[in-house]
A and B are shown apart, each in its own frame.
Chain A
Amino acid sequence: MPKDTGIGASSKRREDVRFLTGKGLYTDDVSLHAQAHAVMVRSTVAHGRIVRIDTSAAAAMPGVLAVFTGEDFAAVGGNPAGWLINSRDGTPMREPKRPVLAHGKVRHVGDAYAAVIAETYQQAKDAAEQLAADTEIEELPAIVDMKAAVADAGNRVHDEIPDNLCFDWGWIEDNRAAVDAAMKAAPHVVTLELVNNRLVPNAMEPRASIGEYNPGTGDYKLTTTSQNPHLTRLLVAAFVMGIPENKLTVVAPDVGGGFGSKIYHYGEEALVLAAAKKLGRPVRWTAERTESFLSDAHGRDHVTKIELGCTKEGEILAIRTETLANVGAYLSNFSTATPTFLHGTLMAGPYKVPHVYVNVKAVFTNTAPVDAYRGAGRPEATYSLERVIDKMCRELNLDPFEVRRKNLLTPDQFPYTTPVGLVYDTGNYQATLDKAIELGNVAGFEKRAAESKARGKLRGMGLSTWIEACGIAPSHLVGVLGSRVGLYDAATVRVNATGNISVMTGAHSHGQGHETVFAQIVAERLGIPESSVEIVHGDTSKIPFGMGSYGSRSLAVCGSAMNKAVDKIIAKGKKIAAHMLEAAEEDISFADGKFSVAGTDKAKTFGEIAFSAYVPHNYPLETLEPGLEETAFYDPGNFTYPAGAYICEVEVDPDTGKVDVVAFTAADDFGNVMNPMIVEGQVHGGVGQGIGQALCENTSYDENGQLLTGSFMDYAMPRADDVPFYTVDHSCSTPCTHNPLGVKGCGEAGAIGTPPAVVNAVIDALHRGGMTHVTHIDMPVSPHRVWQAING
């Protein structure tokens, strides 16, 4: 019988009441007295030298209050990169300054070089258009193609970086010779060159920011679309604006999706704060949809050559990759970590492969910055690996299921140290593979294929067995690897006098359902109703600290911090109960919401203890402080390693090249599951995004660096009819061994495991149709590309 409350119950998402009834409060919904409106002036060329900006006409237009250009921010700091990567030769990566507003040069279409503040949005917009007309930018040749960028020393995105190279990273460099030797000795080598297509995150809510300044106190407030308000506060206050952190409050209210793109600090946030101070009025800015396409951090954009050395029987002996990773025009906050430590460290996959070497060159181009997007580096690793394994199976005529089974790590091998530096704590990859085979009815595939064929369609089946490292991460480890921040988290559990609870968490919910799940956990542990627990997040003035939500870390890290704070509450409750019940503290046990004396029927309810803590008439005041509120910080002992097996079935129309995903099975191991319904929803969303990447989405820049896909008419988001009903399972659970909840994280899984399963299925369909000349099709596997492959 499934539980109907607490841990493991599919409690309904309480936040949906406000979301589904239009009662959410997003940044753009915040309306303040005397607010002014900002409009950014953005470059229409990809690369150019700013010759002249004449602000006089724009400044004189009706309603205009202020005009800012890059010059106004020349003295403040740049938006920093959060992770230092050293090149193979030991030199540190190149870090060009990323200014609030472009100064001297514009470096991508959409690069903001000025901003206009006016009484109304329309006035600001009109003046911004005037300013654009009064600006002279000398267009320079655009650097778009990564191979050309590193080959052309003369044409530079940043004048001080001659080859447009940010870093040339080897992982693990010391293993390179051994990997080369293993590859050379391998009986068979499979080579695949592939592109991991650039994606625009396209959160439903565009970015928005409101700056406030109180001249009476010197306090700033930033309301913004952020996945991590404390990190934004740190970046904008300490690094860019030079504001003391105690004088800046950052609030991220309801946020309509982020997928990574709202982790980062953007220049508009500093701009509205500076403008608010200058004018003594609140200043607001909201991106238009096309501005989001132009200026949000994009995702993926790798060009990879992967080689796999194996035996003729399909035993993997060595893997070697060379990747060009596009970082765009500037380094976004985690852009250097994404293609390196979130990518190279996963290149062993869930397999017992002895030799792995990864080389990544990060390249500056005249395109929007690229950073972590749902999955962040791990989808790129998984795609390369699962595609090349599929190619190996075809070259050697091996069964892809058997090849996976042969190479997967077995449960007795954990903890397992991979050749790329991670320690997988636990897993059972065979179990998820078996579960997927069962649920996907692999045995019945031939019959379904015959039925498709009768309708003139080619049916194919694709498999991907994926793993990720999430719940980032032990601070001491990421510190060694170059992270400039710690990656712990914090929570405060405040028990009110009447026994209900406010939890202040460092996680930020922007669609995930934390308000429901975190309450389930606290309610279960304290034996109180879920409705007695309120989750507070997204406000630096209310919550103790937090690194926010990304990398599937909220439950594993922030949830563990909260759990630790609950431990402290229970420990203090025992002390209070011991006093009230006149027993020894070690004789007090806590279960089902009651503190009781072992071996007796003497007990106090949680509510009675809470009341006593706040009305301490009968209370050990000489040894114990009144009140019942605890804060805990939690630094994880390791990454968590969710893994799973995905099976995709497609039908390809050989006449048109159209691909339909007709069945999709996802069997995942997320460790302990707190709310199955929400986990299932997370997998649905991730798989949908994965199918979007595989079949639909592509970010296209032309040779001049013009973004050709700047609207939903031009950028193909997956729609309801592009995805099938999913079969989702997470019963094969091996609980995480190092966090108290035993959870692993499920937010990114679908986006990681799905793309190779889809593409493998398309190739399978074409091979079954006799088109064995097709060995690879780059994503998005659009009808056009499939048709070309069929007829090429």
Chain B
Amino acid sequence: MQMSDSREIKASPEAVWAAILNPEVLRECIPGCTEVTGSPAEGFEASVTQKVGPVKATFKGAVTLSDIIEGRQVTISGEGKGGPAGFAKGGAKVMLEPVEAGTRLSYEVEAHVGGKLAQLGSRIIDGFAKKMADDFFTRFQEAVEGPAEGDESLAESGEGGESGQKKGWFKRLIS
């Protein structure tokens, strides 16, 4: 499946770029992610637990960054093996451009699933992938710029107080 979208982030392209390359940010922002190790140069190892329809599994796999144009563009590719649940693989081409409000982040995502995920979950995989992408970039946006102003409910929902406190932590770290 393929999808694309874009959103504006109230932070400089440099701050957004640094966040994309930070494994801690990835760990915080990938829904269900429990572990990310590695570096942009050598690639990351990630572990993600997700439930797709009837199939729940922990996917372990490598994440690589390619086609890097410093500060402007990167392709993030990953392949996760979920054991008996099958596998998922895909890539997101992320492009940054400066805009008045900060940075426009555009992405084009391509995803494939195989094994039990395809056999049992394909009817919901499009919606699932879109939700994963939406969740990721929403969390990413929050990590970089902090919770939307006046959006108290968003900060309180999600994963409760702890994650609420974390909103915008990356922005605070680098600002």
Measured CB to CB, the residues of A under 8 A from B are: 44-45, 109, 129, 132-133, 290, 293-294, 702, 704, 706-711, 713-714
Contacts and interface: CB of A to CB of B under 8 A. Distances in A.
Contacts of B17: none
B45 to A, nearest CB: 15
Interface string B103-143: 00000000011111011101100000000000000000000
Contacts of B122: 702, 706, 708-709, 714
A48 to B, nearest CB: 11
Given A44-B115, A109-B114, A704-B114, A129 B83 contact: yes
B113 A714 contact: no
B120 A706 contact: no
B89 to A, nearest CB: 9
Given A129-B84, A132-B83, A44 B114 contact: yes
Given A706-B113, A706-B114, A44 B87 contact: yes
Given A44-B114, A109-B114, A704-B112, A293 B81 contact: no
Contacts of A711: 119-120
8 contacts: A44-B114, A132-B83, A706-B113, A706-B114, A706-B118, A707-B118, A708-B118, A708-B123
Given A704-B112, A706-B113, A293 B118 contact: no
A197 to B, nearest CB: 17
A242 B115 CA distance: 34
Interface residues of B, number: 16
Nearest to A700: B122
Given A129-B84, A132-B84, A714-B123, A290 B116 contact: yes
Interface of B: 54, 81, 83-84, 86-87, 112-116, 118-120, 122-123
Contacts, number: 54
Contacts of B54: 713
Contacts of A702: 112, 118, 122
A290 B123 CA distance: 15
A708 B119 contact: yes
A466 B100 CA distance: 71
Nearest to B113: A706
Given A109-B115, A707-B118, 9 more contacts: A44-B114, A109-B118, A293-B119, A702-B112, A702-B118, A702-B122, A706-B118, A707-B119, A708-B122
A696 to B, nearest CB: 15
A104 to B, nearest CB: 20
Contacts of A132: 83-84
B83 A133 contact: yes
Given A44-B114, A704-B114, A290 B120 contact: yes
Contacts of A45: 114
A713 B123 contact: yes
A714 B119 CA distance: 8
Contacts of A290: 116, 119-120
Contacts of B113: 706
Contacts of A129: 83-84
Contacts of B86: 44
Contact of A294 (B84, B87, B119, B123): B119
A711 to B, nearest CB: 5
B118 A710 contact: yes
What 8 pairs across the A-B complex have the smallest Cβ distances?
A: A710-B119, A44-B115, A706-B118, A708-B122, A129-B84, A711-B120, A706-B114, A44-B114
B85 to A, nearest CB: 9
Contacts of B115: 44, 109, 706
B120 A710 contact: yes
A110 B116 CA distance: 10
A710 B119 CA distance: 4
Contacts of B84: 129, 132
Contacts of A109: 114-115, 118-119
